[in-house]
Amino acid sequence: MSIQTPNWVKNAVFYQIFPDRFAKVQPPKDAQYQFQTVAFEPWEDPPTLQGYKGGNLWGVIEKLDYLQELGVTALYLNPIFQSACNHRYHPHDYYRVDPILGGNEALEALLQAAHQRHIKVILDGVFNHASRGFFYFNDILENGPYSPWLDWFKVFDWPVSAYNGDFPANYAGWVGNRALPEFNHENPDVREYVMQVGEYWIRQGIDGWRLDVPYEIDVPGFWKEFRERVKHINPEAYIVGEVWEDAQYWLDGNQFDGVMNYVFTGPTIAFTARDRVDRSLVEQPAYKPYPAQDASNYAEHIEMLLDLYPWEIQLAQLNLLASHDTARLLSIAQRDRASVKLATLLLLTFPGAPCIYYGDEVGLPGKLDPDSRRSFPPKEKWDEELWQWHQDLIRLRHSYPALRTGDYKILHAQGLVYVFARSLAASELIIAVNSGTENASVDVPTDKLQSQPRRLLYGEAELQWDSNRNTLSLQLPPRQGCVIGN
């Protein structure tokens, strides 16, 4: 079978937005939902687990110029459907955008404004579980065993205790959380409901789905049908799953186009941040950016990753350094900015679609949830150098197709210096990273290349070609990287 993934994803730069914390503006005067008197938490106060900052989709629209200037071409929005929690992974109504975010009309306006700028938008699909406020589950709470929706969930016994922790919940909740009743996906009505939700929002103009914990839904053929029905409406819709480890099972060409590529994230942080990694911030999530790796270890991980999936899948992976489920890299690396810069260089020169977690580009710190979900800071608190680093590298990626879809060839991986090439037809670029704290001088064999890139496009390095030995001599300052091209 020939595997096909959306062409636009291979050339995209994503930006992940946590809607409650990214941008907040007053809705238009004629908008349906106005919240002038609601007591949201002060924007710049530390985030809490249950408080709202009041960010909305109108704010995202206002920020589109900023995102376009940064070089972003696609948005991944954390859940936006009506919910009684700031992260909205407890959905009440899959057909209604949360009123705090501006309701359905705000999403419609966002899609129109984004698409005018050729920016794609994908939504977070929470289809493994609902919430206690979801109508069909709420009917069970009201009517008990007489509810016609009983078989939509996994109720074991009575009475159901949805709120009192002194008593067993008596129904299946995701990871035992009674606030997140799991759907019974064996029920054809549940299956059809999810399929229709997936189809509905594609018809409304979204460009794809990021699927929350899709590995929890193990009903045979479920995701295959979801893909078929979504792709029937829009063959270029992007379907990306939240799978933290080896995802070969889901990346067979019949289910997802890609996954959130934490298999890239872990070793990349371990190589660039090394012993600066704050272990207390990374031991719980499964991506393991520790122990410290040298260039040889990193090369082994990258070769393993590139061998894991077909090339068409590699080009559709969602590559990232942080997300709402992790601490931010700046905090993981104990505020070592060089770690962020080097990791970002590797991110933006790797096959697949890079995804910037909102605020990382301006130096927003954040430890584990809820701290990693801080509000986007005002401009006077930006790290302008980090912002410029991100913008420059994104611009470079857009300028050179080889950085997006070119072959990936490891040229040198010794000590703390890692060098590789991206090649597409006659275009070749060399990327080098010195994650060490001392100057590094290396001779890089270039027999895998067809040309001799001689121009320093970005970063710091001194270079000299030896045509007789077919090597490139590089001198790299400590904690620096570079891109070399023609």
Task: For the sheet with 440-445, list strands across it.
Answer: 440-445, 471-476, 462-466
- Bridge partners of 380, per DSSP, are none
* Contact partners, residue 318, CB within 8 Å, separation at least 6: 14, 76, 210, 240, 258, 259, 260, 261, 352, 353, 355
| Runs of H (alpha helix) within 242-286 | 262-272
Distance between terminal CA atoms of the chain? 38
CA distances from 311 to 251, 253, 406 (A): 11, 12, 10
Q: Is 242 a catalytic residue?
A: yes
Residue with tokens 């997006």: 404
Q: What angle do CA 61, 63, 66 make, to 5 degrees?
A: 140
| Contact indicator for 35, 41 with CB cutoff of 8 Å | no
Backbone torsions φ then ψ of 12, nearest 5 degrees: -90, 155
CA nearest to 261, candidates 294, 208, 222, 308: 308
Query: What are 80's two structure tokens?
Result: 């936006």
| Angstrom distance (rounded) from CA 435 to CA 412 | 14
Which residue type does 471 have? Answer: T
Q: What angle do CA 263, 265, 268 make, to 5 degrees?
A: 110
Give 251's DSSP letter.
-
| Angstrom distance (rounded) from CA 345 to CA 334 | 19
Residue with tokens 């794809």: 208
Give 447's DSSP letter.
T
- Bridge partners of 83, per DSSP, are 91
Catalytic residue, chosen from 124, 242, 257, 361, is 242
| Contact indicator for 136, 148 with CB cutoff of 8 Å | no
| Angstrom distance (rounded) from CA 58 to CA 26 | 8
Query: What are 98's two structure tokens?
Result: 């949360």
Using N-to-C axis directions, what is the helix angle for 384-399 and 337-347, rounded to 10°?
10
* Contact partners, residue 188, CB within 8 Å, separation at least 6: none
Q: Is 142 a catalytic residue?
A: no
Catalytic residue, chosen from 182, 212, 257, 294, is 212
| Angstrom distance (rounded) from CA 129 to CA 453 | 52
Which residue type does 209 have? Answer: W
Burial class (CB in 10 A: 0-12, 13-18, 19+), 173: middle
**Catalytic residue numbers?**
212, 242
